[in-house]
Every structure is written in structure tokens, then in C-alpha cells.
């Protein structure tokens, strides 16, 4: 499956739109809470990928999986952390808080690759880290001063998502540096299996209504399984800075959907902090993309 550049950009925009639906959908759940929400979404993601992978890559996909590679298993653990922490964070705090915290992913990746892979960070990235830190500090400080319920806990749980994502990207870079080819889509399946098994005992006894199960099944298929598979295809055409920039649209779409679809209006202090974070990321990625073109 091959795309031209413009087609890949349009497809990546659609991917971010699908990713952004989790917040608004969870606000319409009736009875499912906490770990049960994570269990059902991960379970349906697993079931969806068990069907999608052989249809997409053929039945030989199972024999091609790098079962003996530690990178494959560690990548699955990272996906599992992302799946679990994201949904738990959404159940604890506002959608905007979770998405803005997750926006730190590109900067955390830069720091982790600097520490563990020795990659040099340009001055623009250090400046972006400082500006994003100010934005996060502003958002956190204002919410804590207002006594926002579960804000700190929800934000700390949400922070696990970009940390796990940064480790995941570092593992991929290291595996490629060693001449390996880590297939990210099967790793997504492995992460969904881990998350399902981890949250099953914590989700018991089930309280979700049929309405809730249908919504969470939709998230498993349309918010994770399909867009994660499509994002791999996009990454084969688009440059890394372009993918990073387009992925930030999930924050815009997610906050807008939660506002329009669940009447969850973000507070002004959160929006101000979010603007600083997004500005730092956009400036850093745009400068990097421009320098690479020169």
C-alpha cells in the first residue's frame, strides 16, 4: 500500500482525528469506570488486530514476528503502559489536561535519546524544553491553586503515556542502529494483550452496560487498532518531523470534541499553558524540518 505525500498527510490528519475520539466517548459511558474502561478498550483492540494483521500482512505475519527479540517484548510493554495509563488518566482528570501532558512526548524523546543513545540536542530543542516546562508549570500551578480534584494524580498518570512513548521510540531507534527491523504493528497487538491481562483482575466485577461495551468496542477498533496500523503506513512516506507536527492535531481535535460533544470546556489557565507547550513543540519541529531541507 503506497501513498503520495499529499495523500499521506491527509491520511495522518484522519488518524489524529480518530485518536482524539477517546476523551469525548468516555464522557458518555454509563457505568464502566477506571480499570474496566481500560480492559474493554484493550480487549477489543486485541481482537481487532488479530483480524486486521493477517488480512493486511497475510497469515505469515505470525511466523514473522520477532518473538526472540527483547526489543519486541519491551515495545509491547511500552504500548501496554500507554494504553492503560491513557484511559485511567481520562477517568481522573479533564481531557485537555491529559492531552496537553501527552504533548510532551517529542521533547521527552529528545531527552531520552540524548541520555541513552548519545544524540546531541540542538539549541532550539533546549529552548523548546524550557518553554514547554513553563507552560506545564503554569497549567499545573493554576489547577493546584484552584484545588482541582484529582488533577495532580491524573496528570501524573497521563505523564506515563509520553514517557512510555519516548522509551518506545528510543527502542526502535536502537534496534535499527543494530541492524534490526522492529515491526511496530505487532508490538501494538502485544501491548493490547498485556494491557488486557493486566487490567482483567482489576476490572472485576464488571459493571459496564451494553451501551458502554459498544462504545468501548468502537474505541478499540476505530480509536486504536485502525489508526495505529494506518500511522505505520504514513510513517513510511512522511518525514519524522512532519509526523510529529501532524500528531499534535490530536490535542486540538481532542479538546474540541470534548468541548462540543461532552460540554467539557477547558479552563483559561489550562489553555494558556497548552498554547505555550504547543508553541514550543511546533517551533522546535518546524525549525528542525526547515534545517533538514536546507
pLDDT tens digits for range 9-30: 889 889 989 999 999 999 999 9
Q: Answer positive or negative: Cα dihedral of 45, 46, 51, 54.
A: positive
Mean pLDDT of 256-283: 82
3-state secondary structure the chain: CCCCHHHHHHHHHHHHHHHCHHHHHHCCCCCCCHHHHHHHHHHHHHHHHHHHHHHHHCCCHHHHCCCCCHHHHHHHHHHHHHHHHHHHHHHHCCHHHHHHHHCCHHHHHHHHHHHHCCCCCCHHHHHHHHHHHHHHHHHHHHHHHCCCCCHHHHHHHHHHHHHHHHHHHHHHHHHHHCCCCCCHHHHHHHHHHHHHHHHHHHHCCCCCCHHHHHHHHHHHHHHHHHHHHHHHHHHCCCCHHHHHHHHCHHHHHHHHHHHHHHCCCCCHHHHHHHHHHHHHHHHHHHHHHHHHHC
Identify the residue with better confidence: 293 or 80: 80
| Whole-number Å distance between alpha carbons of 106 and 227 | 19
pLDDT surpassing 80 at residue 119:
no
Give the per-residue pLDDT at 147: 61
Beta carbons of 81 and 199 less than 8 angstroms apart: no
Longest dimension (CA), the chain: 58
Q: How far is CA 224 from CA 20, 46, 229, in A?
A: 10, 10, 8
pLDDT in tens, 25-68: 999 999 988 899 999 999 999 999 999 999 888 888 888 888 88
Provide the mean pLDDT of the chain: 84
Cell of 180: 534490526
Residue 246's pLDDT band, with cuts at 50, 70 and 90, is: confident
Q: What share of the chain has pLDDT > 70, as a percent? A: 91
| Structural domain containing residue 112 | 5-293
Most confident of the ranges 42-56, 109-123, 124-138, 152-166: 42-56
Give the per-residue pLDDT at 239: 67
Give the per-residue pLDDT at 152: 82
122 Cβ contact partners less than 8 Å away, ≥ 6 residues apart? 288
Give the per-residue pLDDT at 144: 64
Residue 145's pLDDT band, with cuts at 50, 70 and 90, is: low
Residue 192's pLDDT band, with cuts at 50, 70 and 90, is: very high
pLDDT in tens, 152-182: 888 899 999 989 988 887 877 777 677 776 6
Nearest to 168 by CA among 184, 189, 190: 184
| Whole-number Å distance between alpha carbons of 93 and 45 | 23
pLDDT surpassing 60 at residue 241:
no
281 Cβ contact partners less than 8 Å away, ≥ 6 residues apart? 103, 106, 107, 128, 132, 244, 248
Cell of 289: 524540518
Give the per-residue pLDDT at 146: 58
Number of domains present in the structure of the chain = 1
pLDDT surpassing 60 at residue 196:
yes
Identify the residue with better confidence: 288 or 257: 257
Residue 293's pLDDT band, with cuts at 50, 70 and 90, is: low
Amino acid at each position: 500500500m503506497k501513498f503520495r505525500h499529499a495523500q499521506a498527510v491527509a491520511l495522518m490528519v484522519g488518524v489524529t482525528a480518530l485518536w482524539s475520539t477517546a476523551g469525548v466517548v468516555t464522557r458518555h459511558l454509563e457505568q464502566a469506570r477506571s480499570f474496566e474502561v481500560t480492559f474493554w478498550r484493550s480487549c477489543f483492540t486485541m481482537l481487532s488486530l488479530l483480524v486486521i494483521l493477517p488480512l493486511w500482512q497475510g497469515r505469515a505475519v505470525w511466523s514473522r514476528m520477532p518473538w526472540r527479540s527483547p526489543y519486541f517484548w519491551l515495545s509491547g510493554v511500552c504500548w501496554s503502559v500507554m494504553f492503560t495509563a491513557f484511559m485511567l488518566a481520562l477517568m481522573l482528570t479533564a481531557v485537555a489536561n491529559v492531552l496537553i501532558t501527552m504533548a510532551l512526548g517529542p521533547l521527552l524523546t529528545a531527552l531520552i535519546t540524548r541520555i541513552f543513545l548519545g544524540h546531541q540536542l540542538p539549541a532550539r530543542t533546549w529552548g523548546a524544553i524550557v518553554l514547554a516546562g513553563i507552560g506545564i508549570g503554569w497549567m499545573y500551578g493554576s489547577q493546584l491553586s484552584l484545588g482541582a480534584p484529582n488533577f495532580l494524580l491524573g496528570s501524573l498518570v497521563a505523564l506515563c503515556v509520553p514517557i512510555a512513548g519516548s522509551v518506545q521510540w528510543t527502542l526502535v531507534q536502537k534496534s535499527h542502529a543494530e541492524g534490526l527491523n522492529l515491526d511496530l504493528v505487532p508490538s501494538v497487538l502485544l501491548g493490547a494483550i498485556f494491557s488486557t491481562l493486566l487490567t482483567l483482575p482489576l476490572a472485576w466485577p464488571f459493571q459496564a452496560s451494553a451501551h458502554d461495551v459498544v462504545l468501548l468496542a468502537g474505541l478499540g477498533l476505530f480509536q486504536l487498532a485502525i489508526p495505529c496500523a494506518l500511522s505505520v503506513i504514513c510513517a513510511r512516506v512522511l518525514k519524522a518531523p512532519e509526523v510529529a507536527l501532524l500528531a499534535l492535531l490530536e490535542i486540538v481535535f481532542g479538546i474540541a470534541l470534548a468541548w462540543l460533544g461532552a460540554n467539557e470546556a477547558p479552563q483559561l489557565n489550562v489553555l494558556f499553558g497548552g498554547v505555550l507547550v504547543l508553541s514550543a513543540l511546533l517551533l522546535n519541529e518546524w525549525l528542525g524540518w526547515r534545517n533538514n531541507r536546507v
